[in-house]
Amino acid sequence: MRAIFLDRDGVINENRAQHVREWREFAFVPGALAALQRLHAAGLPVFVVTNQAIVGRGVVSAAAVEEIHARMLAQVALHGGNIHDVRYCPHDPAVSCGCRKPAPGMLLELAVRWRVDLRRSYMVGDAWTDIAAGRAVGCRCVLVRTGRGAEQLLLPELHQHPADMVAADLSGAVDWILGCEGLSSPGRPDNHAWRGRLTASSRLTAPIEGR
């Protein structure tokens, strides 16, 4: 099956300078919940892949990150969306691992678990590391300007790992994805106009980075 992979911080929820350490610090990016509902209505499975080095640094526990994810999934479901599964990399960048983006380990693990066709799938993120991870496995990639996205556009790494599309936010990314897939989206304009160009990984399966 094809699927949508999403980074978390800066795409689904607002970035925080001191990271999201507990649920009360988690704030959805405006329009993100509606965008997730549209993906679910279109029949596109959604997966979250996020770097959470604050676990490896001892800032928060793995249990705290998993509680945030459980609450996030519950809120998404309450608003008509669905996140199939979540992976996070808890490792500090100094640790050599295969799961921390730009490495594609989390995407590969999810692809095996859920039989995802990565070359028919999409990666949406706010950093060059997200785009590099997606491109490494053949996904089409969207950079959003929310979170760190606007400043990332100036980095040379993004020229080495170019996105297929730059969107204002997750809602704009969903417009483009649905257009590429030839799918309609309730409440939005005709999307055909948008055609164009664990070791320590944690799993949370719905129905229930870091950075």
**Which pLDDT tens digit goes with each residue over 186-209?**
545 443 333 333 223 333 333 333
Residue 169 and residue 110: Cα distance in Å, rounded? 24
- Given this model, what pLDDT does residue 18 score? 87
Q: Two tokens at 92?
A: 């500090």
Q: How confident is the model at residue 127 (pLDDT cuts 50, 70, 90)?
A: very high
Lowest mean pLDDT among 12-16, 17-21, 143-147, 168-172: 17-21
2 φ, ψ (degrees, to nearest 5)? -85, 160
Residue 134 and residue 95: Cα distance in Å, rounded? 21
| Percent of the chain predicted with pLDDT > 70 | 87
Q: Two tokens at 132?
A: 């590099």
Q: Which residues are catalytic?
A: 7, 9
Q: Two tokens at 66?
A: 């998993």
Question: At residue 90, does pLDDT exceed 80?
Answer: yes
Give the pLDDT confidence of 36-82 residue by residue, as tens digits: 999 999 999 999 999 999 999 999 999 999 999 999 999 999 999 99
- Given this model, what pLDDT does residue 184 score? 66
pTM of the full structure: 0.87
- Given this model, what pLDDT does residue 96 score? 87
Q: How confident is the model at residue 155 (pLDDT cuts 50, 70, 90)?
A: very high
CA torsion, ordered 63, 144, 100, 84, to nearest 10 deg? 50
